[in-house]
Structures are given as structure tokens and as C-alpha cells.
Structure 1
Amino acid sequence: MSVRGRWGRTDRPDRVSDACPAEATSTSASKEMGQTKEKPHDGQPDADDALLERFRAHLLYERGLSPATVRAYMGDLKLLAQYSRETGITLLALARSNVRRLMAQRIEQGAHPHSVARMLAAWGTFFRYLMQVGLRPDNPLEGQRAPKRPKKLPQVLYAEELEMLFKKEQMTPKDVRDLAIVELMYATGMRVGELTRLTFDRLDLTRDVIVVRGKGGRERIVFFGAYAKDILLRYLREVRPRWMQKRTDHPYVFVSMRGTPLTTRSVHRIVRALSQEAGLSVRTSPHTFRHSFATHLLDGGADIRSVQELLGHVNLSTTQIYTHVSTSRLKEQYRAFHPRA
């Protein structure tokens, strides 16, 4: 298949699917083999809740993590708090054996290794905090290794798939906004949270530049081209003012039809709907555009250090996964078109 457009001519074979095992749903932390429940200590839930709230405030105000990151931490700690309530062992008294047992339960329940690793990281951060403030003498996760995570290459859209996604003949106001969102994500490599937090003071339409506030409060500069700028300007001139008529204006660029700032969940729904409408066979999420942005830059000969800066990666090793994607795509091309491959 070949396509002409903003990418020039591209040929590709059929994609080899790389399915990710589905994660089993969580069940109660109380289902333990041979363990007898203890009666919860008086006042334990209140004490544990106060401890978790103190930790949440530490992450948000002292470490300066984003609300989304803090919610992720607290979500992983819910299971630990539930275990504490059901066994009667306070968070301050949990032993290494308790934590290991709970981790084993999650693995037996079918939790994906990625989820287990993230959960252990959150728990470890919590216990280290308790040590720092003098509430625990030890970290029960000290030396505990997370289960090995299967290596999975990021899912990337091919040029013709992006063309199918971006091509629309007749557009409603909602279509204009949705297209502006996906064009901008692909043009800049922004994360979905960075896009929904985008405000006008960080958008420079004269120089076609965005100052992104990324993970850990780190700032970086990203750029966008004519395709993204044209549809973005149309959205800002024709759509957003109409939707803001009955609202007090606010600085967020992307809004719902009611004029409220768009949420990350809404962007996920938008991308899923556009993908289905375009008839794409690949499962597409907002992060797919970030993966595609990085891979296509490397395919085109961009320097990996430059791609690292544009993505906002602290470690080069995080960016290097995209070099593997590029190699994999080259191998597909070789196998598809070489007569004796």
C-alpha cells in the first residue's frame, strides 16, 4: 500500500499484532490462604486515613507532583489500606511477610506485571516517607524486586493510518475540535495530561511553539507545523468562542461543548471514537500519537537526543525504545518486499 500526503510516499506490510494480556480484576484483599482475620484495632481506620492524607499532602505540596500522579499513588495505596483494615494490622505495623503476601495475591489474581511493579513503587515510596518522618523504623519492601515485566514495543500508527484518521470532508464544530486535538498530539508528542492542561499563556501561535509543563514540573519546548496550526486556528476562531458564550472564560485551550475544560478521560473517548470511525484495526489511545511522533522522527533521521528533549524524557534509555520500534519496522519492510527474505 502506498500513500501520498504530508509524509510523501510510504509503503508498508501488514502490521504484526502485539497483544497485551488483559489484567484480571482485583478481588478482596481478605481472601488469604489459611489466614485468620484479626479484629481491627479501635480507631485504626481513622489513624490510617489520616496517615494517607498526610502522605497525599506531602506528594502534592512538598514534592510538587501533579494531581494525576498523586491520584495514581493513592489508588495503589488503597489496596494496602484495605488489607490493613481487614487484617487489623495498622499501616505502621505491617511486616515484610504481610506485604509479600498481598503482592502474591495480586499476582495470583492475574494482575499484569506492569501493575504490580507500579504498585510496589507506590508502596515503597509510602514506606520510605514513613521512615523519613520517624513513624517507621524500616521499609518492609527493602530489597524486594518487582516481577519481570514483558518487553513490549509501543504501538505506532503508520502514515496512511494517520491520513485516514485526519481526513474529514464535512466537519461539525465537534469534529473540528477533535481533529485539532489529535493533530496537535501527533505534531508535538504531548502527553494527554499535558494537552488538557494547556493554557493560552503557553501557546505561541506566532512562532508555532508550546511551552509544556511535563512530569515533575519540568518544562520543555515543542513545535507544531502547518497542518496542526490550520485546524487549531479554525477551532479557536469558530468553535471555542461559541461554546464559551454562556461560560466565564478560563485559560484552558481545549473545552467541552459546555465550555468546561476537557478532561483526559474525554480525550481518550475522542481518540477511540475517531479510530473506530476511520476503521483502524489497531487499538488507538492518546499515547499512540506520542509513540508515532517519536518513531516517525527517528524513521526520518532525527537525532535521538533531540527526540529525547522533545518528549521530555529524563533518561535516554526511555527514548531508546523507539529505536527498537524503528528497527522492527525496517525488518517488516525487508521481509515484505525482499524477494528472498
Structure 2
Amino acid sequence: MVTIPKIPGDSQISRLMRQFINHLTVERSLSVNTLAAYSRDLGKYLGHLGARGVTEAADVTSEDVASFPEYLEGMATSSIARSLISVRAFHKFAFEEGATPSDPAADVQPPKIPSRLPHALTVREISALIDAAGMGDGPIPLRDRALVEVLYGTGARISEAIGLTMDDVDLDGRTIRLYGKGRKERILPLGTYAADAISAYITRARPDLARRGTGAKELFLNQRGRPLSRQSAWGVIQAAAGAAKLSVHVSPHSLRHSFATHLLEGGADVRVVQEMLGHSSVTTTQIYTHVSRETVKEVYAGAHPRAQTPMV
């Protein structure tokens, strides 16, 4: 279970940071994972400002903000960029609340992250992963197969999948209800494979697991009958990838990437895929169209007689 780190200290700026986190919690209803990331980022920023002798929000300068990446030296560019985004959001909040006379972070831009195309598994690799997850006897393989089928069959984020309750699944109507960022609800169709895997798990495995616990409402349970944790779900994917002897790195997000890529390659409209993924902007979804274009290029290069200069 993810916990939100408490921002330490009793300085004016640390108190203001805690007020900001409370604002994100109450006013914007952000997920626990997002709130934890903001708290970690601001905790690091507080350490940076403390090293520079700054304890009042009104005393922070643009140079203080701009030098923060140096304090984070050694971290990935994406992590530094995210931390600066958290800092920018905090200073904007402080300015709008009247706690500072200006916004020192307004003109500080996060570092550009190199464009990286998400890795999508092939359909054959997906099948091998699902088969490996369902190998063995007892309730756990049935649960693991259902989990992987849900992740690939709906494109759910790992937090959305483990947050599913029994009431979120409608096997008769073949739909599933997911709650995304900000508790935004979306209802998705369940494919035959995913529906059958969930049905087998609910009928033949979940009652046994539930008897070991205290009546958890979540769909996916661990061996003690408690809700499956994010870390355990990651472990399921890693174990299945190892058993399937896949040569590529596999994470829960790999299944989400694969879901989107395979839909687009099959001719799905990008706006429909956007809705299914729960993206607020189609721009986020369009990264998957680049993956599909690479596939098109590969097919063209291998199939068209004049795609490449002949060897001499």
C-alpha cells in the first residue's frame, strides 16, 4: 500500500508545502500515487532550499529554482523533469494564495526528456506471458492469469486493476468499470478471453482466497485473502515473464502499451483508444501511433520491391 510521505520541518515554507499537498488531496482529488510523488519531490526541494538557507517562500528566487536540478544530479532526466513540475505547481499555488509576491518558478522550464517510443510486446509474446501466468495448480495461477488478461484486455493501469472490486465487473454484460486519475470513471468492454479468465478465477479461486481474509471487496486477493498490492502485482508480471523466457523487459505498463498499439495496428481510431486508456488529451495517446508507423515502415521495407537500394 502506497503511503504519502510527510513533508518535514516547521518552517514557513514546509508548512505551506503541506497546505499545498492538502489542496491537491481535497480540491483536486489526485490519486495516492500522485500525491506521494508530489510529496517526495517537494521533500527533496525543501532539502535543496535548506542547503541554501531559504526557509520563507517569499525569499525563494528564480535562481534557487533553476539550480534545483544540480541538487538532483544523478537522477534520471524524467525524474528531474517531474520534480521541477511539482516545484512549479507549488510556487504557482503559493502565488495564487497570496503567500508570495511573485512566482519564482514561472520562467523555469524542466529539462526536455528524450523521445522514447514505448515498447509493445508481440501478440505471440503476450500469449506466452498469459500462459505462463496461468501455469500450475491452485487458486493463485487462476488469479494471475485473470490479472494479466485484464491488464492486456483493457489497457488498465496497474493501480486501476488492483483497485477493481467485485461490483466493478459485469460478466453478463461483458464490461468492466475502471477508476483512473482523479477517480475518473470509464466503462470498457471485456473481451472473451479476459471475461472467461475472470469467471474462472471468481468461480474456482477467489472464494478460497476470500475465506482466508476478512471479507475484502477487491477483485484480486493475495494468499491471505487481502487485497493484492501493487508490488505483488508487479511480481506476478515479472514471474510470468521469467517463466515465459521472454527476452524483453516486461512491466505492467508494457501490457498497457501493447493494448494500445495492437488496437491502433488493428485499425482502431485514436480517439477511441484515448477514451479506453483514460487519457485526458489525445496528444498523450498519439505516441502509440508512432509505434504503429514503425511497424508500417518495417512491413514496407520488407515487402515493397523498391523500398531499399539493392545490394551490389
Give TM-score, length-normalised by structure 2.
0.89
Paired residue secondary structure (1:45): coil
1:157 to 113, 121, 145: 121
How big is the shift at 1:339? 6.2
1:130 matches 2:86:
no
Distance 2:137 2:271 in 1: 38
Deviations 1:75-95 (A, max 9, x none): 111111112333331151222
1:75 to 35, 40, 47: 40
Checking the alignment, whether the CA contact within 8 Å between 1:304 and 1:319 is kept in structure 2 is yes
Q: For residue 234 of structure 1, what is the aligned residue in structure 2?
A: 200
Distance 2:92 2:166 in 1: 39
2:229 to 263, 266, 282: 263
Q: For residue 76 of structure 2, what is the aligned residue in structure 1?
A: 112
Checking the alignment, whether the CA contact within 8 Å between 2:271 and 2:282 is kept in structure 1 is yes
Q: For residue 20 of structure 1, what is the aligned residue in structure 2?
A: none
Q: For residue 181 of structure 2, what is the aligned residue in structure 1?
A: 215
Checking the alignment, whether the CA contact within 8 Å between 1:177 and 1:235 is kept in structure 2 is yes
Checking the alignment, whether the CA contact within 8 Å between 1:81 and 1:91 is kept in structure 2 is no
Residue identity opposite 2:173 in structure 1: R
Checking the alignment, whether the CA contact within 8 Å between 1:188 and 1:222 is kept in structure 2 is yes
Q: For residue 31 of structure 2, what is the aligned residue in structure 1?
A: 66
How big is the shift at 1:336? 4.3
Distance 2:71 2:14 in 1: 23
Q: Which runs of 5+ in 2 are unaligned?
A: 1-7
Q: For residue 253 of structure 1, what is the aligned residue in structure 2?
A: 219
How big is the shift at 1:289? 0.8
The aligned runs of 1:293-308 (5 Å cut-off) are 293-308=259-274
Paired residue secondary structure (2:70): helix
How big is the shift at 1:214? 0.9
Residue identity opposite 2:126 in structure 1: L
Checking the alignment, whether the CA contact within 8 Å between 1:45 and 1:85 is kept in structure 2 is no
Distance 1:259 1:84 in 2: 45
Paired residue secondary structure (1:265): helix
Residue identity opposite 2:187 in structure 1: I
Distance 1:192 1:178 in 2: 13
Checking the alignment, whether the CA contact within 8 Å between 1:244 and 1:259 is kept in structure 2 is yes
Paired residue secondary structure (2:84): helix
Deviations 1:217-258 (A, max 9, x none): 222111111111111111112222112213221221111111
1:142 matches 2:97:
no
Distance 1:158 1:165 in 2: 11
How many pairs does the alignment contain?
A: 296
Identical-residue share of aligned pairs (%): 39
Deviations 1:93-145 (A, max 9, x none): 22211121122343xx2332221221111011111111122211122111212
Distance 2:110 2:162 in 1: 32
How big is the shift at 1:337? 5.0
Q: For residue 4 of structure 2, what is the aligned residue in structure 1?
A: none
